[in-house]
Amino acid sequence: MKKIAFSLLAPIGAVMVVNAGASQAIPVTIYGVDYDLSYSSSTLDGFIGLYGNPPSVFPWFGDAVEADVLATFVNSQFGQTQAYNDPVLGDLNIAPIFAFSGTAFSAWDVDSGALLSNQPFTSTQIFDFAVATRVPDPVPAPLPLFGAAAAFSASRRLRKRMVSKTFSL
C-alpha cells in the first residue's frame, strides 16, 4: 500500500519542483472571465501550433484595445524584460508582449514607462508572450462532501454484497 501511495504522490512532487521557479501569475478579468496571466518564450507560430488559431491562451487576440489595456495594467509586474529594436525609437527594454494579431502586439516600455501600441513583428520572432490561463470556477462547498458520502455508501453496499456471496470452486 505504501508503494501505491508513493507512486501517486511522486508526480505531484515532480510538478511542484518544476513549477517552483515559475513567475508569479497576475490575476485579471477579461470579458467577464477570470484568468491568471504569466509569460512564456516562443514564436507566435509555436503558440498557434500548440493552442490553435487564434491561440486560446490569448483571449485578447483580435482586440487591439484590450491588448493595450492589459499591457498598461500589467506594465512591469512580471519583472521580466526583453530587448526590442523599434524601427523608430531604437533599442528598448519591454515587458512580455500582448499579441493581438499575426503581425502586431502591444507591450510596456519599461525604460520610458510608456505603452507601445500596434508594434510590428513576424510570427517567427521569439518573444516573451503574455499568456492567460483560465481560473477554474469554484466548486460549491457541499458538493465534495456529497461526493465523498456517495462513494462511501456505494463501497459499503458493495462490500456487504461481496461478503454475503459464497464462492466455491
Look at residue 61 and tell me whether its pLDDT is greater than 60. Answer: yes
Threshold 0.75, pTM exceeds: no
**Each residue of 25-54: pLDDT tens digit?**
888 888 888 888 888 888 888 888 888 877
**Each residue of 82-94: pLDDT tens digit?**
888 888 888 889 9
Give the pLDDT confidence score for residue 153 in this predicted structure: 84
**Each residue of 113-128: pLDDT tens digit?**
899 898 888 778 888 9
**Residue ranges per domain, the chain?**
24-134
Look at residue 59 and tell me whether its pLDDT is greater than 80. Answer: yes
Give the pLDDT confidence score for residue 16 in this predicted structure: 26
Query: What is the Cα Rg of the chain in Å?
Result: 24
Residues 6+ apart with CB under 8 A from 18: none
Could you tell me the pLDDT band of residue 146, with boundaries at 50, 70 and 90? Answer: confident
The answer for 53, left when phi > 0, alpha when psi is -120 to 50, beta otherwise, is: beta
Give the pLDDT confidence score for residue 121 in this predicted structure: 82
CA distance 113 to 103: 23
